[in-house]
Amino acid sequence: MRNLTLAAALAALGTTPALADSAEVADAVAADYDSHLEDLFVHFHQNPELSFLETDTAKRMAAELRAVGLTVTENVGGTGVVGMLENGDGPLIMLRADMDGLPVQERSGLDYASTATQVGQDGETYPVMHACGHDVHITSMVGTARRLMAMKDDWSGTLMFVVQPAEERVGGAKAMLEDGLYDRFGKPDYALAFHVASILPTGVISAAEGIQYSSADSVDIMVPGVGAHGASPHMGRDPVYIASQIVTALQSIVSREIEPLSPAVITVGAFQAGTKHNIISERADLQLTVRANDEDTRAQLLAAIERVAVGIGKAHGLPDELPVKVTVSEGTPVTYNDPELARRLNGVMRTTFGDIGFQPFEQRGMGAEDFSYFVAEDLGVPGYYFAVGGTPPEAFEAEANGGPAVPSHHSPLFKIAPRESVTLGTRAMVAAVLDLAGN
């Protein structure tokens, strides 16, 4: 309901809230969108690429950042790009944008919708779509670099623009760090990033002073079986039945083992087995996503999943040489905003965009972000991650009045308002940098 209230307020104003940043900055960003960034956004939207395969996107981002005047290094952590802008003494500030798309067939109805396909790392061909708004993030990064280069007299320090691969597989940040990101380019004094949010109306910025996103782990469960004729199930061990029991039992972990006030999610996103009606197969595979809001709960969930899955396999007679196997293939910790930095920059956002334009963060799902690796506690880099509203207020009003639902992220129907999202994200990044490094 809060989103609808905000949406109604914004609609009543008929425009973005009264802004405290200079009209010159706002006008310059808007003009840059009209003359350059709009075409760049459409290009990225129509040419998405899968995680760790973002070769053309990386080349275009490298070219854009070089054109601004940055010193650019490519192939960091795979397809990652780093652009450095030195401007005298001052803090080293990292600005990060993720660039990968998703294996989704776009059905947004946009006249610039993606029709791209790509061969994935597994050798299969997939439709590809920017179904999570990463095209907004990288377009806004270019806009931010262009504006801050034009405003070099207003700040001093060094900016590190990090174009990150494979956020959707929560592996790109870790890969860049393992490739020496901080050793090669310096450990930042601050790290900044944002995500466009379909659940927020355009014109709104939102950030927490603590937890911003949950942890996420991708878990694969391989359930072996003993093949047999479907008419003689007693002569085999049915992996479909065993895996079905595992799917059901996994939900007891959240409902009966995790503290009721500790958020946790176990979702089985894929169940694959068999080839024909009357064949008991020799294998079933489950793919899970697991979410938590703290590392203790995260560890408890993963340990319990293995215990339950392996135990059910044994209970249904799988021999010791055919155990259920549980593998954590990808994962990222909880993303926390540094409280002191968040209080400071939330104040900047309130001052810059007004009380209507800033909304304290309210966790309404258990999305995750591998930005957490850049700001891990042992690295000592204060991080600030914020959300930028991406859906026009009238879309929320239409939904409330019985119209179509606002599409979620990762949906084939996903779409946001690019001009409003890109320009607001750019202006917010500029405002943060000017506060942290302003003269």
Given a contact cutoff of 8 angstroms between Cβ atoms, the answer to whether 415 and 223 are in contact is no
Helices (H), 281-404: 295-315, 339-357, 393-400
Given a contact cutoff of 8 angstroms between Cβ atoms, the answer to whether 172 and 100 are in contact is yes
Cβ atoms < 10 Å from Cβ of 272:
11
Work out the burial of residue 163: count CB atoms within 10 Å of its CB; fewer than 13 is exposed, 13-18 middle, 19 or more buried. buried
In whole angstroms, give the CA distance from residue 130 to residue 109: 14
Nearest alpha carbon to residue 140 among 22, 37, 50: 37
Given a contact cutoff of 8 angstroms between Cβ atoms, the answer to whether 191 and 94 are in contact is yes
Is 167 among the catalytic positions?
Answer: yes
Beta bridge partners of 71: 84
Q: Is 209 helix (H, G, I), strand (E, B) or coil?
A: coil
Q: Which of 49, 106, 167, 238 is catalytic?
A: 167
Q: How many residues does the chain have?
A: 439
Is 74 among the catalytic positions?
Answer: no
Beta bridge partners of 197: 389
Q: Which of 100, 106, 209, 330 is catalytic?
A: 100
In whole angstroms, give the CA distance from residue 280 to residue 294: 40
CA angle 65, 429, 193 (to 5 degrees): 85
What's the Cα-to-Cα distance from 319 to each of 216, 225, 233, 273, 312, rounded to whole Å?
A: 32, 10, 16, 19, 12
Q: Is 206 helix (H, G, I), strand (E, B) or coil?
A: strand
Residues serving a catalytic function are: 100, 167
